[in-house]
């Protein structure tokens, strides 16, 4: 049986990168290799479990796509791609080249569309097609011979065909995935949907009407305020369905010979693994080559990674690097023990830890207060924090998604209120356009001056001072706070959830100058608690049974 595996590159790359966000993999050059390593082991896992006869990987193209041309705000709310991921992509393409796996990138079309097109062509060519991606959008493509191969939060993968997709989302037909997204929107892609309609309401409408088109033809049958919401947002709903529809007519042709799984170029792969310092993966190659009686040239002066990965943050949960040996080429000894990080911190809390400088133990012992603080508080705290990191914090991802839908709807309503108060539409996320509104049009401060870049300052401090002069200022402040809450916590936290269903944040013992603990990757310490919106996040925290 012919079996085609199609991989959504960026979806897997981002997932791999954030899987190691708490303890990034760093090589001896100080380079973050988390995304590359995570992608490599995921690819290896997929090849073993799917055992495809044919394989291809699809990338999003540089620049925009037809969706960006149709809707300028498409994915506009997303934060800029982390620099470590941007640097990882060319290396991952080198990895695929060494493994003789073709990579596809079609200008103007997303990876979703490329995979959708190849999947349909594969089905026509009598392939069993497996689409490896965590994105629910792909549910619209499944069929009797096309399946989603979706990573689970708890580890492993789940295979989803039409039956599984319908059961998961409460739908009658897999094509309703498009209608579902068209109604509820998709915050991750900035697809508006119908404001005020969440997943449960959207499913209920689809169970009643079957499709968006039929619903819009019978809005008189919708009761109460929901009818008003739908009828006032018909264009948004139709446009959202257009944005959510994966194209299957991309100008690309399935080439069976090109996609056929081939043996990797072991020498190129081994050289790449040496360069990246992926010693475990390199050993697997050497083992395979020994079994095949093929020799790979040994590398000279192969460097190993040192344990310290961030001079300002101590990883208490454990080291994910494959080797903790000090590089033999380093001239200075590396002091990387927790006792040394603690000693330097107590003596100079405002100075970042330097692993190449020996700590001054004499000075620490000469100060009775600091010595007692070290022995009685700081050192005993280390294993406690390590246990806390290992235990993690369990989150209900469904509640986070529900909160995201609710708060995103609030954000859209707030956006419309700002436009009404301003008397015009503008980009609320643009400080330049906000400044022009407040100071050029509304003239809230005659003394306001522009910077060298020709832009007014619209910092929080400036806006708070103007809050009483016009109601739009307070609305903009509220919009910024809500937008930050969504992007910093609601949308981001699910990406930190590990295979055990928990978030394992890093507790930093030696970072703040005041001596207090801090939390990072992600920052759970500052989860908002006073506001009603903040409580939505707190409600997603699940206590353990024990």
Q: Which residues contact 107 (CB under 8 A, 6 or more apart)?
A: 61, 63
Residue ending a domain, choose from 358, 390, 422: 390
pLDDT in tens, 448-504: 888 776 788 898 889 999 999 999 999 999 999 898 888 878 888 887 887 778 888
Domain closes at, from 213, 244, 275: 244
Whether residues 360 and 483 fall in one domain: no
Q: Could you give the angle at the alpha carbon of 212 between the alpha carbons of 209 and 218, nearest 5°?
A: 55
pLDDT band at 545 (very low <50, low <70, confident <90, very high): low
pLDDT above 80: residue 183: yes
User: What's the pLDDT at 155?
Assistant: 65
Domain membership of residue 474 as a residue range: 394-542
pLDDT band at 154 (very low <50, low <70, confident <90, very high): low
Residue 262 lies in a domain: no
**Per-residue pLDDT tens over the stretch 302-358:** 333 333 433 333 333 333 233 322 233 333 333 346 788 799 889 888 776 667 667
Last residue of a domain, one of 362, 390, 418: 390
11-25 pLDDT, tens digit each: 999 888 887 776 778
Question: 403-412, 424-433, 446-455 — which is least confidently predicted?
Answer: 446-455
Mean pLDDT across the stretch 69-74? 67
pLDDT for 232-251, tens place per residue? 989 889 988 988 899 999 99
**Mean pLDDT, residues 35-48:** 92
- Cα distances from 350 to residues 58, 78, 215, 452, in angstroms, run 46, 33, 62, 33
Q: What percent of the chain has pLDDT over 90?
A: 42
Q: Please compute the mean of the pLDDT values over residues 270-297 and round it to a whole number.
A: 70
Is there a single domain that holds both residue 310 and residue 421?
no
In percent, the amount of the chain with pLDDT more than 70 equals 86
Where residue 275 falls among pLDDT bands split at 50, 70, 90? very high
Count of domains forming the chain: 3
> Are residues 377 and 459 both part of a single domain?
no
The verdict on pTM exceeding 0.75 is no
Return the number of other C-beta atoms located less than 10 Å from residue 370's C-beta.
16
First to last CA, the chain: 48
Q: Quote the tokens at residue 116.
A: 């959708």
The CATH number of residue 400's host domain is: 1.20.1060.10
95 pLDDT exceeds 70? yes
């Amino acid at each position: 049986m012919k079996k085609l595996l199609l991989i959504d590159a960026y979806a897997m790359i981002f997932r791999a990168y954030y899987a190691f966000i708490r303890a990034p993999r760093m090589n001896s050059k100080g380079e973050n290799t988390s995304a590359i390593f995570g992608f490599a082991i995921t690819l290896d896992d997929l090849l073993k479990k799917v055992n495809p006869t044919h394989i291809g990987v699809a990338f999003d193209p540089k620049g925009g796509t037809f969706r960006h041309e149709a809707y300028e705000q498409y994915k506009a709310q997303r934060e800029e791609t982390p620099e470590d991921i941007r640097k990882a992509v060319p290396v991952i393409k080198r990895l695929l080249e060494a493994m003789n796996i073709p990579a596809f990138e079609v200008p103007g079309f997303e990876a979703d569309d490329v995979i959708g097109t190849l999947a349909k062509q594969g089905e026509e060519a009598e392939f069993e097609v497996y689409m490896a991606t965590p994105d629910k959008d792909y549910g619209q493509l499944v069929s009797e011979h096309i399946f989603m191969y979706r990573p689970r939060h708890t580890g492993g993968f789940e295979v989803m065909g039409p039956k599984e997709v319908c059961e998961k989302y409460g739908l009658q037909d897999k094509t309703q995935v498009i209608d579902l997204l068209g109604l509820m929107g998709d915050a991750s892609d900035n697809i508006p949907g119908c404001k005020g309609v969440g997943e449960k309401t959207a499913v209920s409408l689809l169970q009643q009407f079957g499709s968006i088109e039929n619903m819009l033809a019978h809005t008189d049958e919708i009761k109460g305020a929901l009818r008003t919401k739908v009828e006032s947002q018909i264009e948004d709903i139709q446009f959202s369905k257009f944005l959510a529809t994966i194209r299957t007519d991309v100008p690309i042709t399935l080439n069976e010979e090109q996609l056929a799984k081939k043996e990797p170029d072991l020498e190129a792969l081994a050289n790449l693994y040496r360069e990246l310092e992926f010693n475990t993966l390199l050993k697997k190659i050497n083992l395979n080559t020994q079994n095949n009686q093929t020799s790979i040239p040994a590398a000279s002066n192969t460097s190993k990674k040192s344990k310290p990965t961030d001079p300002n943050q101590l990883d208490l949960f454990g080291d994910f690097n494959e080797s903790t040996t000090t590089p033999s080429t380093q001239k200075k000894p590396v002091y990387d023990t927790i006792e040394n990080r603690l000693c330097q911190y107590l003596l100079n809390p405002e100075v970042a830890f330097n692993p190449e400088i020996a700590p001054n133990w004499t000075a620490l012992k000469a100060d009775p207060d600091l010595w007692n603080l070290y022995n009685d508080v700081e050192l005993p705290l280390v294993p406690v924090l390590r246990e806390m990191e290992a235990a993690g914090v369990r989150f209900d991802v469904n509640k986070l998604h529900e909160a995201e839908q609710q708060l995103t709807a609030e954000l859209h309503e707030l956006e419309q209120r700002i436009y009404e108060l301003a008397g015009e539409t503008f980009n609320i996320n643009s400080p330049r356009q906000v400044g022009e509104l407040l100071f050029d049009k509304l003239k809230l401060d005659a003394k306001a001056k522009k910077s060298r870049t020709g832009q007014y300052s619209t910092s929080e401090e400036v806006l708070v001072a103007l809050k009483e002069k016009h109601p739009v200022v307070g609305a903009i402040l509220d919009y910024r706070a809500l937008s930050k809450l969504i992007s910093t916590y609601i949308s981001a936290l699910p990406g930190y959830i590990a295979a055990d269903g928990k978030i394992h944040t890093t507790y930093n013992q030696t970072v703040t100058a005041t001596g207090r603990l801090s939390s990072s990757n992600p920052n759970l310490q500052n989860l908002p608690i006073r506001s009603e919106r903040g409580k939505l996040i707190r409600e997603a925290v699940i206590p353990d049974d024990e």
